[in-house]
Amino acid sequence: MTAILKADTIQDTDGNNIINENSNTITIGASGDTTNIIGTLQNNGSSLISGITMADQWRITADLTIDSSDFDIASNWEQADTTGFGFIGSAMTQSSGVFTFPSTGIYYVALEVFYYGSSGDDYGRSVIKHRTNSGTETIMADTRIRYTNGNRGYVACAVIFDCQSTTDDKIIFYGGGNVANLIVGNTNQNNTSVRFIRLGDT
C-alpha cells in the first residue's frame, strides 16, 4: 500500500520550519541554516554541477607575418598541450580561425597577441569579433599598442560573451598592423593565445 503524507510545512522539534511549500515554491531550511545533501542533487533528472564547467586555451603554433594590413588570425591554431596544461569540460573547436562553442552559456573570452618588430615601428591590435552564421561580424573588443623595430609588444583584450546559439554565435580573432612585422607563435608555450571560460548559463 502506498502511503501519502500531505503537509504544507514540516518543522523540527523546536518549531523551526524545515520544509515549506507556498504557491508552488518549496523552501528547504531557513536563513542561517546549513543544508547537507547526501547523494546527487538533480534538476529534472540531470545532475546539478556547481562551479566552472568549461575552461579551454588555444594558441598560435608559429609566427604569422603581417602583410602591412590587419587580418583575421585564421591559421596555426592548436589547443594548448604543454605539460601541465589542463582544461575542463568540452573543448572549443575551430576552422580557419572561426571558433565554435561546445554549448550555449556566458563565457569569458580573452585574447593576448605578442608582436615582434622585425621590419620597423608599428602598432599591433588585439581584436575579438562576433560572427554570425550568415557571416555578419561585430567588433566586441579592440585594443592597440605601439612597438618599435627590433622590440616586442604585447596587447590583450577580453569580453564576457553570451553564446545563445552554438550554430549562430562564433568568435574570431583579429590582429595586424601597417608594417610587415610578426605575430609571434610557439607550439611549446603560449605567446599569442586565447582563453575560454564558461561562467554560467545564458
Within-domain flag for 23: no
Whether 134 maps to a domain, the answer reads yes
Residue 17 inside a domain? The answer is no
- Domain annotation covers residue 20: no
pLDDT band at 26 (very low <50, low <70, confident <90, very high): confident
Q: Is 42 a member of any domain?
A: no
Task: Tell me if 90 is assigned to some domain.
Answer: yes
pLDDT at residue number 22: 85
Question: Does the global pTM surpass 0.85?
Answer: no
Residue 161 CA to residue 164 CA, distance in Å, equals 9
CATH code of residue 190: 2.60.120.40
Q: What pLDDT is attached to residue 193?
A: 98
Is the per-residue pLDDT at 6 higher than 90? no
Rounded Cα distance between 130 and 98, Å, is 10
pLDDT at residue 200 greater than cutoff 80 = yes
Query: How high is the pLDDT of residue 1?
Result: 63
Match 502511503 to its residue by C-alpha cell: 3
Looking at the structure of the chain, the number of domains it has is: 1
Is position 103 within any domain?
A: yes
Task: Answer yes or no: is pLDDT of 13 > 90.
Answer: no
Residue 19 belongs to a domain: no
Side-chain half-sphere exposure of 110, counting CA atoms within 13 A: 10
Domain that holds residue 79: 54-200
For 138-195, the pLDDT digits (tens) are 999 999 999 888 888 899 999 999 999 999 999 999 999 888 899 999 999 999 999 9
pLDDT in tens, 39-96: 777 777 776 666 799 999 999 999 999 988 899 999 999 999 998 999 899 999 999 9
